[in-house]
Chains A and B, each alone.
Chain A
Amino acid sequence: MPQQSAVTVLAPLPPENRDRVLDALAHLAGPGRSALAFDRHPGLHFARLLLVEGGPSPTGAEIGPSLLYAADLDGSAEAHLRALADVSAEGLDRAFGSCTGYPERPDPDGRTAWLKAHRIPEAAFYVNTVGRGVSQVLAEEGLRRGLETYLDAHRADVAGLSPGQIHAVLRRHALADPQLRFGAVPARRPPVWWRTRERAHLVAVPLVLLPVAPLILLALPFVAVALRLHEVRDVPDRQRPDPAAVERLRAAEDRVGQNPFAAVGFLKPGPFRAVLTRVVLLAISYAVRHVLNRGDLAGVKTIHFARWVYLTPERMVFLSAYDGSLESYMNDFIDKVAWGLNAIFSNGIGYPPTVLLLWRGARQEDLFKDHLRNHQALNQVWWSAYDQLTALNTGSNAAIRTGLARRSLSDAEARAWLALL
């Protein structure tokens, strides 16, 4: 049972090369799709390339454009970079060839070294279901299809049986079919060392914080006042999104069951917001690692992976892979987890006004949706290993396998299990 990793590579490029890179990305998204060979990386869930536009920062510094590669994958990030430098060499050279310092005569070792040198850390990384690898997702979809096909043909034969007996019939069928046999065995649990480490981390963080807890409690009222003072001075963005820009984004959306999302923005200036953002990201990291790691990001069940990354100390990017349309994604945010969105994104310039970090903010639907569109970036290249499967689909497929792997089910259990098919 593989653990999931994130890779983020950020490569600056000379501004005069921007259009050349865009051309290369258009080629790699279209006729030259095979050059990146993402399908030849077995544990790769999602991968994308996007051009992060340059421009002036709020403090006046000029930021150049850069090319960003992000991947969600099974196993180690380093191994993925090595494989990429070899298997995806042609596409890599084409995409990054115009970036500053890319090897003139690239070979696998040179590329790997360059990629590693440009790798940047994720401040927080959300995985829908920790441990569920690509091969498991694909195999369990095949299992569901196999069982559905069997039921389509044999429903009349089994309809007179009890639910528990039907489970037994389906289990026998799976065991007899080499393609489905794996489904009669439960998915492997994470290794003991990994579970021990996670448990240790789960406990250690509160233990370390415990001695300073009184200090934190004492400081909270002062932090709240300082926060309010910052909030009333914040200037929300009233800009409506540019229709042409929205049209460009829309043209790339909703082609398959999932969409990649990317948003880029500057943090509100000053040390207060800088520290607050760090603290919130640490809290998110802890929560997604130990609590929100079973198919549910605080009420939103459509996100496969998500990450927050510092591009510079004052500029962040948020990336995710989600099911359905951006409209439904934004509605989920507003209706189900507005407080969570506010906690992190209200540290970005132009966010709809918040009250004490968690309140209002995204609940101002029109302002929030405009803000998101204004900060959204186009993913010029995007790849998914299972682009028609929603997170709910993969979860229910896994539950089908879990039930099938049980030797027998009571009628009540079997009835609930059969409802998954």
Chain B
Amino acid sequence: MARPALTAGNRRAGLAGAGTGAPPPVTDSGRRLDRADVQGLVGSGYGRLPEAVFLGLQVDDGAAGRRLLADLLPLVTSMAGDRADSALNVAVSHPGLGRLGMPQAALAGFSLEFAGGMAAPTRSAFLGDVGEQAPATWAWGGPHHPRVDLLLLLYARSAEELTAHRDSIRQRFPADGVREVVALPTTPVSPRDHLGFADGISQPAVTGLHGRSERGVALGEFLLGYPNAYGRRTGRPLLPAADDPGRVLPPAPRADAPDSVDLGRDGSYLVVRTLAVDVDAFWSHVHRWAARTGLPPEQVAAKMVGRWPDGTSLTVSRDHPLGDEPVDNDFRYHRDGDAAGLGCPIAAHVRRANPRDSLDPRPGSDASVRVNDRHRLIRRGRQYGPPPGTSDGTGPDGERGLHFLCLNANLSRQFEFVQHTWMDNPAFAGLHGSPDPIAGHHPPDGGGVFPLPADPVRHRLLDLPRFLRLRGGGYFFLPGVRALHHLASHPAHQSSVRDGKDRP
């Protein structure tokens, strides 16, 4: 089996190429972030690499899968090497970890949501992925599709370079034992999404992620192995030190488990959801309600989104976009006089994705923000499909949408909570029957309601259709670089020995 050469020279390769040919050396106390151990996607969305494609692989033979992983390791981009001309990150599903030879005890250390997978019936019900959004209707990742065990995320500067990057990676796929089962192309990074709105403005500041001076949400909210917002390390797989003879993995804190190594450290859960967006339906709805309410169409659309197309918050500027670059994102809803939602409606998309200081305890207070910040996500999505035509996107010219990607350390408290309790909850913040105007699952009978606060009396947009359709998705684990090395080198016989219980 091919094992990466453990040469010191490779360690600094991050600056030259992508570079993680050897596992980064295990360093110090483990309090400070080791950038060479964190895959680059955690630190950045690779905005300077506008082209991307995501490849889903099924691993039928564990040894072949490990061999491929070992071959890919030198190309994997860490946060230390994210200035390269191309990037590769690797994520693994729970079944994929099993295929690669992870022993049962290690698999059981992951979160239940990850282990069950996004398409599990209870997760589908919880996330609202039912009816025409159900996994059985997806284009990938559903029960009738091949398993996606490995997800390769490829980024490059241009279409030509992406093709070359992709081909060089595909060349490494073994003839047998590993198959590419889905390829998800993307459209080049653009400042606006398909609906015409600036996207990805609010990303959480994370303490210590980009250096010591960065202050914000606890690192452990996004990376396993670090204290989270409650000052505790989120549950993750810890292995007996004997399972890591090459000492590739960092030791686990003694308090959690003595004589153990941490497979989760520097890893994060990656949520992928392919969301087709019906641009025509959105704008025809907007125009219909603009006519009925007498508001300009752009304002109706902005009220639903919660920002003007250029990203200006409606709380910052109620009547018109400011065109600022960068936009003022340092606002709070209650503190800045928008408690009632006369600027940004309470039901608006961005206000419920990140309510800031809107909710209990004591809206407007720092305590409210602290509770809010226990439900943050790092978003790393990319658009796909042709951009809509200039005339408000008329005419069906193929499916388009968003590959929504986000990272978090606790799927249940972060991604699933935001999706269920904030976005899709018809009673969010005291509302009546109003799920998210864009992402929400409005009842098919036209019962979708969007209250648009106004003085002295509100508007209500009725009969909201569903603008988004889920086309695929999955829960993945984006391991730390050392953990990837461990996965690539993990000898299959070791787990079988353990299963036989004849280890000392």
Residues of A within 8 A of B (CB): 144, 148, 151-152, 155-156, 158-159, 161-163, 166, 240-241, 243, 246-247, 250-251, 254-255, 257, 299, 301, 323-325, 327-328, 331, 334-336, 363-366, 388, 390, 392-393, 396, 414-415, 418-419, 421
Given contacts A241-B112, A331-B417, A336-B360, could you give 8 more A-B pairs where the C-beta distance is less than 8 Å?
A151-B460, A155-B458, A251-B125, A254-B125, A335-B361, A363-B230, A390-B427, A419-B458
Contact of A327 among B235, B413, B456 (CB under 8 A): B413
Q: How many residue pairs between the two chains, A and B, have CB atoms under 8 Å in the bound complex?
A: 106
B131 proximal to A (CB < 8 A): no
Please name all residues of chain A whose beta carbon is closer than 8 Å to the beta carbon of B420 when the two chains form the complex.
254, 325, 327-328
Stretch at the interface among B114-122, B185-193, B269-277: B114-122
Check B360 against A152 for contact (C-beta < 8 Å): no
Min C-beta distance of B170 to chain A, whole Å? 36
**Would A299 and B427 be within 8 Å (CB), given that A159-B456, A419-B453 are in contact?**
no
Min C-beta distance of A162 to chain B, whole Å? 7
Residues of B within 8 A of A (CB): 108, 112, 115-116, 120-122, 125-126, 228, 230, 232, 234-235, 294, 340, 360-361, 371, 374, 412-413, 416-417, 420-421, 425-427, 430, 432-433, 453-460, 462
Check B421 against A328 for contact (C-beta < 8 Å): yes
Please name all residues of chain B whose beta carbon is closer than 8 Å to the beta carbon of A246 when the two chains form the complex.
112
Contact of B426 among A155, A163, A257 (CB under 8 A): A257
Check B456 against A163 for contact (C-beta < 8 Å): yes
Check B232 against A364 for contact (C-beta < 8 Å): yes
24 pairs of residues in contact across A and B, judged by CB atoms under 8 Å: A151-B457, A151-B460, A156-B294, A159-B457, A161-B456, A240-B108, A240-B235, A243-B115, A251-B121, A251-B122, A327-B420, A328-B420, A331-B417, A336-B361, A336-B371, A364-B230, A364-B232, A365-B232, A388-B426, A388-B433, A390-B427, A393-B427, A393-B430, A415-B456
Check A155 against B459 for contact (C-beta < 8 Å): yes
Min C-beta distance of B502 to chain A, whole Å? 26
**Would A155 and B230 be within 8 Å (CB), given that A247-B116, A299-B360, A335-B374 are in contact?**
no
Q: How far is the CA of A148 from the CA of B112 in the complex (A)?
A: 42
**Would A392 and B430 be within 8 Å (CB), given that A240-B235, A247-B116, A331-B417 are in contact?**
yes
Main secondary structure of the interface of A (DSSP, over half): helix
Contact of A158 among B234, B426, B457 (CB under 8 A): B457
Q: How far is the CA of A418 from the CA of B453 in the complex (A)?
A: 10
Please name all residues of chain A whose beta carbon is closer than 8 Å to the beta carbon of B360 when the two chains form the complex.
299, 301, 336
Please name all residues of chain B whose beta carbon is closer than 8 Å to the beta carbon of A414 when the two chains form the complex.
456
Min C-beta distance of A305 to chain B, whole Å? 18
Check A366 against B421 for contact (C-beta < 8 Å): no
Please name all residues of chain A whose beta carbon is closer than 8 Å to the beta carbon of B228 when the two chains form the complex.
365
Q: Which residue of A lies closest to B416 (CB)?
A: A327
Please name all residues of chain B whose beta carbon is closer than 8 Å to the beta carbon of A148 when the two chains form the complex.
432, 460
